Structure 1
Amino acid sequence: MSDRFFVVTGGPGAGKTSLITELARRGFHTIPESGRAIIREEVARGGDALPWADRRAYAERMLERDLSAYSTAQTLTGPVIFDRGIPDTLGYLTLCGLPVPPHLAAAAKAARYNARVFLAPYWDEIFTQDAERKQTSAEAEATCAVMRETYTALGYEITELPRADIVTRADFVCKQLAN
């Protein structure tokens, strides 16, 4: 477990990546979301490990990349902010109604983050779809709920981010990290 590893989770389109970008600008080590990178790679190579094609393969790729990122983050000093964590893959499979393989459940229990997890709540005013984010607003809300349930079931404490501009959100996170 690493008390200096912090996760920002939630549904798609809730401002997680914008917050992570601002925290990186402020000098924090950050780890980008694996899902979008995998989608770009799979589309570029004509692969099918995609959320709209082979969800199990997509989940395995996310787990592989997230385990690697977790390992790499061990070499960094100070707080490290993750745009989603390993439990997000578990939540993704749950949301899709797919079974969670034992190795994924074990990874989510073994590779622990700080007990405080930041949740970006669904926020209709900023939610948008794009080529990589095809979920509807209802799916985004459901994803947020599943991530809250998944992290809570794993013993994490949820700290909900305010529905506010990025600077205010980043200030909120910085204040929480100082406590």
Structure 2
Amino acid sequence: MDAERFVVITGGPGSGKTTLLEALAAQDFKTLPEAGRGVIRAQQAIDGPALPWRNPALFAELMLSWEMRSYAAARNMPGALFFDRGIPDTIGYLRLTGLPVPDHIMRATETMRYNRRVFIAPFWPEIFGQDAERRQTADEARRTFDAMETIYDELGYELVPLPFTSVTGRVKFVMETLGPACRA
């Protein structure tokens, strides 16, 4: 099943998710990039409306589209794949911003499932930072973590908190947690 091969790494912004995924890619694992940053970069390049600070609902729809496209593309790739966030993150984002969750997004989370174990990066104040794309405050980053933890739990995933350790330590933790299946 594809779902067993599809491993999500989620959490709040600035918690080391992307750095971990880059380290996994350096070890020849296939990774899929985060939708949020991709959408923000594309929208900033064209001064588009689908930015979280301009139109959060449109931003969420583009994130959903990106994640669904990534999921479909992953089906044609062999072996284990690591996703920088997943479709449920869109729901977490909508809830965080106080927007309703449309039925079609819930259906997407029901039909496009990931590995039952989801790695979640806790808020880590020592490494958190803002940039041109990550405008969230530390408080928003904490609340984002909480929102992701809640939605993945509600959807029946087993949350596996990433340890506060080096990138190498986190890679080792992920490999040990997944066991031989991650090399399949």
TM-score bracket relative to the smaller structure: over 0.9
SS for the counterpart of 2:133 is coil
Q: Distance in 1 between matches of 2:61 and 2:13?
A: 19
- The aligned runs of 1:92-131 (5 Å cut-off) are 92-131=93-132
- Runs of at least 4 residues of structure 1 off by over 6 A? none
Map of 1:30 onto structure 2 = 31
The answer for unaligned runs of 5 or more in structure 2 is none
Structure 1 counterpart of 2:55: 54
Structure-1 residue corresponding to 2:142: 141
- TM-score, structure 1 length as denominator? 0.98
Deviation at 1:177, TM superposition (A): 1.5
Amino acid paired to 2:8: V
Partner of 1:75: 76
Query: What is the aligned length?
Result: 179
Q: Contact 1:36/1:132 (CA < 8 Å) preserved in 2? A: yes
Q: Distance in 2 between matches of 1:26 and 1:172?
A: 14
Give the aligned partner of residue 91 of structure 1: 92
5+ residue gaps, structure 1: none
Q: CA deviation at 1:176?
A: 1.1
Q: TM-score, normalised by structure 2?
A: 0.96
SS at 1:168 equivalent: helix
CA distance in 1, matches of 2:154, 2:3: 18
- Report the Cα distance in structure 1 between the residues aligned to 2:77 and 2:45, rounded to whole angstroms: 31
Q: How much does 1:48 deviate? A: 1.2
Task: Report the alpha carbon displacement of residue 2 of structure 1 after superposing the two structures with TM.
Answer: 1.1
For each residue in 1:10-56, what CA deviation from the matched residue of structure 2 results, as whole angstroms up to 9, or x when unmatched?
00000000000000001111000011011011011010101111000
> RMSD between aligned alpha carbons?
0.8
How far does the alpha carbon of each residue in 1:91-130 deviate from its partner, in whole angstroms, 9 at most, with x for none? 1001101000000011011100000000000000000000
Kept in 2: contact 1:90–1:108 (CA 8 A): no
State the distance in 1 between where 2:164 and 2:146 align.
Answer: 16
Percent sequence identity over aligned pairs = 49
Amino acid in the other structure paired with 1:99: P
State the 1:147 CA deviation: 0.2
Query: How far does the alpha carbon of each residue in 1:112-161 deviate from its partner, in whole angstroms, 9 at most, with x for none?
Result: 00000000000000000000000000000000011000000000000000
Give the whole-Å Cα distance in 2 for the aligned partners of 1:109 and 1:144: 21
